[in-house]
Every structure is written in C-alpha cells, then in structure tokens.
Amino acid sequence: MTYGLIGLGAMGWTMAKRWLNAGHKLVVYNRTREKTKRLAEKYPDRVILAESPREVAHRAQYILSMVADDQAIQAIAGDDEENQGLLSALGAQHIWVDSGTISPKISQNLSRRTLERGAVRLEAPVSGSVGSQGR
C-alpha cells in the first residue's frame, strides 16, 4: 500500500517515520524540499518524492496532511491545476485525512470542495506532541 503525506514539520516527520518503519511506501511533499530529500536519504526504498501536493494525489489514494495553519492548508489545497494544489487532483478514489489544527470555517470549506470532487476528507486534528520521537 502506498500512502501520501503532505507536511514534514515536527509532527509530519514523526508520523512519516512511523509509516516507513512499519514497511509502507510513502509519497511525500513538503514546501521545503530539503526535508523530503533528507527523509528519502534515510529510507531510499520507501520514500517517493512528489513535486507538488497534486502529484501526491496522483500517486496515492490515502493522503495525510499535517501543515501548520489556515494559510498553510490553503496553500497546499488549491483546486486550480496551475498551482498544483491537492484538490485539483482529488477524485472518488481518495481519502484525505487532515490532521493540522485549522479554523472550523476553513476546514468546512475544504470538506465541501473535497466532496464536490467525489472524495472524502476527514477532519482529524491531534493532541499530544513529538516528545522523544522527534527528528
């Protein structure tokens, strides 16, 4: 099974490691490419680098996003093909789990736009922290 992950911050990096250590392949996009390259160096046979959130959706059916805030989620989610946003590639085969902490208004808007494309979006913010599992 290949999963997609968008956002390799403190939380996303830790989640990525869990997935990879469990033996899964992961298609990864992060705004700052050095982080994705660093992850790929650690797991060369399991990490697939994506050039955009849109590419993540082309390569994976189940996608987790873990980015900072309203601005960040809107930057990766755009439904305009030109900006390579996630929404622009979503279809009925996709399940998008969004675990960042964002405002309810933005979240509802993204869920509506996801549904319009036939996909499912789960609002799944988390508590806890990276602790000793960090980078």
Ligand X SMILES: NC(=O)c1ccc[n+]([C@@H]2O[C@H](COP(=O)([O-])OP(=O)(O)OC[C@H]3O[C@@H](n4cnc5c(N)ncnc54)[C@H](OP(=O)(O)O)[C@@H]3O)[C@@H](O)[C@H]2O)c1
CB of 134 to ligand X, least distance (A): 9
Task: Residue 98: count other Cβ atoms within 10 Å of its Cβ.
Answer: 26
Strand partners, 102: none
Residue closer to ligand X (CB basis): 118 or 125: 125
CA distance 50 to 56: 6
Residue nearest to ligand X (CB): 9
Residue closer to ligand X (CB basis): 80 or 93: 80
Residue closer to ligand X (CB basis): 93 or 122: 122
CB of 127 to ligand X, least distance (A): 6
Rounded to the nearest 5°, which phi and psi values hold at 122? -105, 130
CB of 71 to ligand X, least distance (A): 5
Binding site for ligand X (CB under 6 A): 7-12, 30-32, 35, 66-69, 71-72, 75-76, 100-101, 126-127, 129-130
Alpha helices in 1-32 (DSSP H): 10-21
Dihedral sign for Cα atoms in the order 24, 28, 34, 35 = negative
CB of 14 to ligand X, least distance (A): 8
Total length of the chain: 135
